[in-house]
Structures are given as structure tokens and as C-alpha cells.
Amino acid sequence: MKKIQLVTILFLGLLLQTSCQKKEQKKIQASDKPLTETTNIQPAILDSSNFIGEVEGKKVSLYWIKNENIQAAFTNYGGRLVSLLVKNKNNEFVDVVVGFKSIKDYQNSTEPYFGATIGRVGNRIAKGKFNLKGKSYSIPINNGENALHGGTKGYQDVVWNAEKTNDQTLVFTYVSPDMEMGFPGNLKVKVTYSVTNDNEVKMEYEATTDKTTIVNLTNHAFFNLNGEGNGTILNHIVQFNAKEYTPVDKGLIPTGKLETVIGTPFDFTKPHTIGERINTDNVQLVNGGGYDHNFVLNTTKGNNMIHVGSVTGDLSGVVMNVYTEEPGFQFYSGNFMQGKNTFKSGAKDDYRTAFALETQHFPDAPNQPNFPSITLEPKGVYHTVSVYKFSQKL
């Protein structure tokens, strides 16, 4: 009898242990634990209901465009890129664009430009003033004594019309009325975002005006190629196709000069990490609080456009090559990120945990006669394309 009881107890114990193992296995499979050492935070699953509603009486929503290798989420509030999933070296999706989980989070953010389509004029205009055909114009200042990214209410704060033309293409349109933020002319803007079968995110900008005006459109995605929330970007490896840059004063307004990068911390003609020289005793790095400067592109062609350069995530192996028809790009190393906002992954927007690489005409172009012009005439068409191509370094 004792033997039967002992066998029964052992059998029940074995069943209990097996059941616990199965439950624990299910827990692990369903958890948010990392799949690899290189992806510490998994891509956040966006709830589209958090993006559906109205802003200033206009409907807002969440839109996905995707193929097998790229998945991109946008909202028409600010024409924003919310999430960008690409494959890492382990063939797993990683979200390389930081963003928020709701429209409300974007509205309340202390940083207004995350992922946004920027206009009417990207970057800075000194003291918010410029002359055009003998007439003076003033833009509301919002960055010290200067105007940044279109003034106090740039295109990041408007609701765009959105049309998803196919699974891989999303078209945003917006009519910026005459004298909105002080800019002359009714400007009709069209921005087409698409993902291609060559692992690219393509950004195509178009605009027409009924009065002479100025235009400089771009996208202000903040990238962490190791994945949103996966630490600093200081160990990302950078190489740029730029032998010159435009130095700035303490207000980050260009001096008007083009200076060589050779022999300076701005020389990325060969690969360097972002953080390798960022704390060098250099007046330009002091003025920018790090890198926050316009680089002048060389004319070497690639992909029928100018090759801006490449950035590689040190942990993920994600490589981003950028091409553009623009003459320059702003490289920003996340110097003003302060950990005051919470990303969709639950991580904070801590200091230098994302970078921006904005293709563009040069800052303060209307006030710099030696810079390429951003003037658009009524009979002209503003058209420019930039491409962000992704691959993996194994």
C-alpha cells in the first residue's frame, strides 16, 4: 500500500512539474523579453485607435505602408513618420525611428518635430526676417531670437490630407495659405512617402505657389539604428560625402562661409563614431552643443542622386544609406533631448539617444547670397527627392 502511495505521489509531482514548465514556457514566449542581445527593447505594437480623432476640426488617423522588409507607420497630424521597422543583422524587425504611441503624446511633447514633415522653410532664418523682391517679411521667432522650421506653427502642427494610393505609397497634401506664419503666397504642397522593393523609404516633395515665396521642405525623423530605446547613438558609425560644412554662430545661424571639414571633428569622409570627437574642445561643437550643422555635399553621384553617406547601428548591424537631390543635409546628434517624453516603447527620450539627418538647402538661405536659393516663383515647381536605403552589416 505504501509503495502504491509513493508511486502515486511521484507521478503527481511529475505532472505538476511538467505543467509548471509548460506554463513558464508560455510565459517566456508571450513576454516582451529581447530575442537577441542586440535588440533590448522589442518594436512597440501601435494601437491605431490612439491616432484616430480630430485636431482643430480635421480628422487624424494612422497609416501603414509596407512590404516584406520594411513597415512604416505615419499620421497625418504633422505628416509624421511614427515608426519604421527594418531588418537587423539577425533578420528580425527593429524600429529605427523614435516616436510616440498617440496623437495626444505628439501634441504634448516638449520636442515638436519628431518624425514630422517640415515647412514652409526647414531650419533657421536669422531673427525670423528676410527680404524678397524688395519687400520685408517676418516669421514668428521660436528658437532664441530666430525662426526655426517654419515659425511657431510649422507644418508639424497642421493636419494634412492623406491618401494611401497602394500598400506601399502614402500621399500627404496641404495648402498653406498666403501669409501663414508670414510667408507670402498660397503654397500647394504634396509629399509622397513610399517603401520600395529595394529596401528604401522614398520621400518626394512637390510645391507650387501663386506668389514669389521661399520653400525648403524636409522630414525630421529621429533615428536610433539599434532600435528605439536601445541606448545612445554615440557608437553609431558614420561616413559622409561632404568635405565642407557651414559654421554657425552661437544662435546656430550660418556665418555665410563654407569651411573644410578636414582636420576637424566634422571630418566624416572616413568612418568615425558619432561620439568619438563630440566632446572635443571646438568652438563649433560648443555652439551646437554637439553636432547640429549643415554639411555641404560633394557632387559624386549615386543612385542618380547625390550620396549623402551612411550610418551603421553598432549593435543591430542596420546600415542606412541616404541619397538626395538637395545640396546639403543637417546632422543633429540629439543634443537637446532631455528625457522629458516617453516613446512608444516606454523608453525616455534621453540625451543623445537619437539623431536626425535632414536633407535640405542651407539654413538661413534667404539672407545668405552665396548659398543656393530657395526662392520659388509662381511659374516654377519645387520638386526634390530623398531616399533612405536600409541593409544589414553581418
Q: Reduce the DSSP state of residue 37 to 3 states and report it.
A: coil
Q: Reduce the DSSP state of residue 364 to 3 states and report it.
A: coil
Tell me the sheet residues that pair with 223.
Answer: 97, 355
List Cβ<8 Å contacts ≥24 apart for 49-52.
50/101, 50/102, 50/103, 50/104, 51/75, 51/77, 51/82, 51/102, 51/103
C-alpha cell at 227: 532600435
- Give the count of alpha carbons within 13 A of 183, CB side only: 32
CA separation, residue 17 to residues 10, 11, 169, 292 (Å):
11, 10, 52, 58
User: Do residues 101 and 75 make contact, with C-beta atoms less than 8 angstroms apart?
Assistant: no
CA separation, residue 168 to residues 65, 108, 114, 192, 390 (Å):
5, 30, 22, 11, 16
Place of cell 509503495: 3
User: Do residues 254 and 364 make contact, with C-beta atoms less than 8 angstroms apart?
Assistant: yes
Cis peptide bond N-terminal to 80, omega within 30: no
Active-site residue identified among 236, 244, 358, 361: 358
Active-site residue identified among 149, 220, 293, 307: 220
User: Do residues 392 and 87 make contact, with C-beta atoms less than 8 angstroms apart?
Assistant: yes
Give the torsion through C-alpha atoms of 198, 231, 352, 392, to 10 deg: -20
Tell me what percent of the chain is helix, strand and coil, each rounded to the nearest 5. 15, 40, 45
C-alpha cell at 241: 560625402
Place of cell 485636431: 55
In the chain, alpha helices (H): 2-30, 103-108, 283-288
Residue 305: phi and psi, rounded to 5, are: -140, 180
Residue 358 annotated among the catalytic residues of the structure: yes
Residues annotated as catalytic are 220, 358
